[in-house]
Each structure stands twice: as structure tokens, then as C-alpha cells.
Amino acid sequence: MRVGVTGYAHEVNGFASPVTRAHGIEASRTHGGLAATWEAGPAIATLVAAGVEPVDLPVWEFGASGPLDGDDFRALVAEVDDALVAAGPLDAVLVLGHGAGRTTDDLDPDATFLRAVRRRVGPVPVVVVLDFHANVTPAMCASVDGVVGYRTNPHVDIAERVADAAAMVVHLLGGGRTSVVAQQVPMVLPQIAQLTASHEPFGEVMLLAEQALRPPMRNVSVFGGFSLADVACQGASVCVTVDRGDEAAAIGVVRTLAAALWSRRDRYRLHATPLDEAIAVAARAAGGDGPPVLLADVADNPGGGAPATSTHVLRALLDAGVTDAVLGLQCDRRVVDQAWAAGVGTRICITFNRDDPSPLAPELTVDAEVLALVDAPLVPSRGVYVGARRHPGRCAALRIGGVDVGVSSAPVQVADPDTLEHAGLRPAAARVTVVKSRGHFRAGFAHLFADDRIVEVGAPGVATPELHTLPWRHLRRPVFPLDDVEWDPTIAPEVHRA
């Protein structure tokens, strides 16, 4: 048996600047192929252990960023199609997806990609693994035999879910037949509302989903959706892969989980803490009032498509005279180059965002001392990205007043202390830690900060959780919480048989 492994993974912030193919990474070109990557390695190992031959095909990843150029996406799909032809007959295909893509002229490129794979390989099994933040559409479900979604947010179960998807492929190769039953819920929640800890509303629903995962259910996935995509079909959804003939049982599961999502709508956290209140918390902590605190600059999170260039939180800390604080990673290649030219131990005058100031990322001119310089990849030791190779580019640690700031050449979400330490900061010794992250930092910093010492800051930014402030163009309305919505969770889910 030969199984092709391909993929297109993109989490789109529809309010960010468009990107091109050059912003992506083609994972199969990694030294050692897909087996050596953290994204695909567990799937390859599962297939090999089952006596299946994996066939490496292009796997394109764009992370969180603006819409992909439409022509570049079409070229990418054509490249995958050519690779499928060159691979020869395949018995199945595993697609490593994300499910929250968008291009400059396609609002559902994930479905476009899956349809292209299906057209080329015909009636063989096709299984897709999706991020918890996927905006799952009917067209996506109609093109596959199975859907597997991450169950955790922060995403600490990626390896397990990728292996689950490969195991589903093996099941289908053995003669199993499945249907996909799915239901969208008219609810677009900010990412801060989608944490899956047991005490969170989404965590309670995920527990129900795990309890429902028994034969004939092959997979039960609940998706939060990516709230910043600005596509017609986005938001929370439930998707069950079930043995063919048992669709009625799956419909019951989908209805139960959709109702559970909807019934908790008054408990979801929909707003961040206003900037002035967050800074007051930081000032008290810096003054020794209680244990250290972590401030999350959620609206400038690179993991949500933001450029990590906002200076609103940094300026507020400096204006308030907050000391004993670390902040990162601020992205500004020009500032990094200036620090490298000056050298460690020097004092320089820098201007953040001199090249491209905007209301979301205004200029900020300050005096700074260069504390450290580093130019190397980063491999976190804990959290969501543990073991993954990350590339912030050249970095500098700068002391600005009472705040030590890590500055990178490329935007990188701070999901763990390793990322700050890599840039020359010491978060474990600080009274105030500020990270440009939305929620993944909770897994990496759990040993340092309890939930009651974490503040999600309501500063301006491209990845804002304040959804009512965004200039929506494509989102299908009405949806909660933007509108008054009456919805009946007992309506029939859609049944898809590829």
C-alpha cells in the first residue's frame, strides 16, 4: 500500500497585508523529508508501523498571515497535482491541513485544495487533519473520507492528532468506509474565548466530545474557528467521522455538541482588559504587590497574523514608569541592524516602526542599551512548539528604561520562555512579563503563571479580540456575538459521503 502525504496549511488574518508564496515553507524539502518534521513525523511513523509506504508530496505551510496571492495559490495547487501524477498510483492520501485559509480571490482555498486532490486520485481514501481553529466548510467535508481536528488550545496534542489521521487512513485501507457528518454553529468567537482547559466553556464541550468518541464514531472534532479570517463560512463547528451506515448515531452526537457550544454563549470571554487597567496591574506587580504577572499583547500576536510591531503596550509601560519588566518579541529589522552595528554594551537612540508607522504600530523613539545579540534558530523546550525549529532571525535585547525588550528580525509568537531567553531576556526573574501571543503562551508559561496572574491586554492591533471593531466584508451574518441571533441546534447536520 502506498499513501501520499501532502498539505496546505494557512491560518489567515483577513485584515492583515497579503502574502506571497515566498512567505511559505515547503516542508517536504526538509533534510530527511517529511519523516524528519514535527508536523508530519508522527503520521509517517504510524504509516510505516502499519506496513504502509508513505510517499512524500509537497506540504506547504504559511502559518498565520494575510491572504495568499491568488496566482501563487493556483501555482501551488498545480505543483501538488503534478506531484500526484508523478507519484504514480496511490492507495490513499493524507492531507496535512489547517482549515482557515483564504487567498486574494478564493474564500475557501482549503476546499479548493481538497477538491484538486480528490479529482486527481479518484475514489481512494482521503483523510485531512485540521487545526482546532479551522473554519470547516461543507465543501471541505464533501471532498474527504475523514476529518481529524486538534482537541486542545493551546495546541499540545498535534502529534497525537496527526498520528490519529494516519491511523484512520490505515483503517480505510483495510476496507473501512466512512461518512462525515458536520454542523456549523452561527458563532464567531475571539480566540481568547476558545481555550480548552477543563474550567473553560470550550473545555467542557471538548470533554463531551471525548466521551462520545467510541465506535461507530471514528473521530469526533469540535472546532473553534479562526475569528479573523473574514470569510463567508467561519466560526465554531462540529464534525464527526462515522462508519458508513451509522450516520444517524453521528447526527445525534453532532446535535448534542452543537447545542452544548450554543448553550454556553453567555460564558465565553469576549473582551480583553483595557490597556490602562492592564498597565495598573503591571505597576502593582512591579512594586511588589503580589506575585509576578504576565501581560499578553493578544492583538499583536504573530500567531494570529499580526506583524508584532505595535508599540502601544511598550509606550504605556514606559509612561507609567513600570520597572523590572521584559517584553517580546518586538519585530523591527532596522532596529536589530542598528543594535548589531553598535554592539553589546553600547547606548543608542532607536525608533521603532520608522519604516512603516501606522495607527496600529506608531513610531516610538527611545534611548536603549544593547544587552545581547543573537543570530541562530530557536528550538523551544516546552509548550506548543517544543522541539520545533523556529526562525526569528537576528535578535537583540535592549534595555529601555525599566523594560528589557527582545527585538527580532522576523515576527515570531512568544509561546514559551525559551523564545524570550533566546533573545537575551530573563522572564523567570522579572516582575512583569509581556508576550506578543494570544493563548499558546499558556502552555509554555504554565509553570510560572497561574491563570489569575495573566492579563489579556486590550491594546490596538491586527489580531484584536474586539470583533465588533473590525470592518467585516465577507462574513455571513447574523452571527453571535456580533448580532442578535436565534438558532435551533436541533436542525439536521449535513451528511457527506465522498
Q: How far apart are CA 77 and CA 84, in angstroms?
A: 11
Give how far Cα 167 sits from Cα of 19, 49, 231, Å: 34, 10, 32
Q: What are the b/e assignments for 129-148, b being 16+ CB within 10 Å?
A: bbbbbbbbbbebbbbbbbbb
What's residue 356's pLDDT? 85
Q: Which segments within 18-86 are labelled E, that is strand?
A: 25-26, 53-65
Q: What is the mean pLDDT of residues 83-103?
A: 98
**What is the tally of helices (H) and strands (E) in the chain?**
12, 19
Grid cell of 424 as nine digits: 537575551
Give tens-digit pLDDT for 150-173: 999 999 999 999 999 999 999 999
Q: In what order do the strands lie in the sheet with 217-223?
A: 217-223, 237-243, 178-184, 494-496
DSSP track, 184-231: E-SB---GGG---STTSHHHHHHHHHHHH--TTEEEEEEE---TTS--
Q: Is the pLDDT of residue 245 over 90?
A: yes
> What is the model's pLDDT at position 402?
97
User: pLDDT confidence of 498, banded at 50, 70, 90?
Assistant: confident
3-state percent breakdown (helix, strand, coil) of the chain, nearest 5 = 30, 25, 45
Buried b (16+ CB within 10 A) or exposed e, 404-414: bbbbbbbbbbb
> Residue 282 has which C-alpha cell?
503591571
Sequence ranges of the domains in the chain: 2-268+491-496, 273-464
Which pLDDT does position 38 carry in this prediction? 85
Short-list 335, 339, 336, CA closest to 351: 335
Q: What percent of the chain has pLDDT over 90?
A: 96
Mean pLDDT (the chain, rounded): 96
Are β-strands 364-374 and 454-458 bridged in parallel, bridged antiparallel, or unpaired?
Answer: unpaired
The three three-digit cell numbers of residue 13, written as one number: 488574518
Average pLDDT over residues 57-84: 97
Please tell me the predicted confidence (pLDDT) of residue 389: 86
Q: What is the pLDDT of residue 355?
A: 86
Dump pLDDT digits (tens) for 290-331. 999 999 999 999 999 999 999 999 999 999 999 999 999 999
d(CA 45, CA 38): 11
Please state the rounded mean pLDDT for residues 441-461: 96
Q: Does domain 2-268+491-496 have CATH number 3.40.50.2300?
A: yes
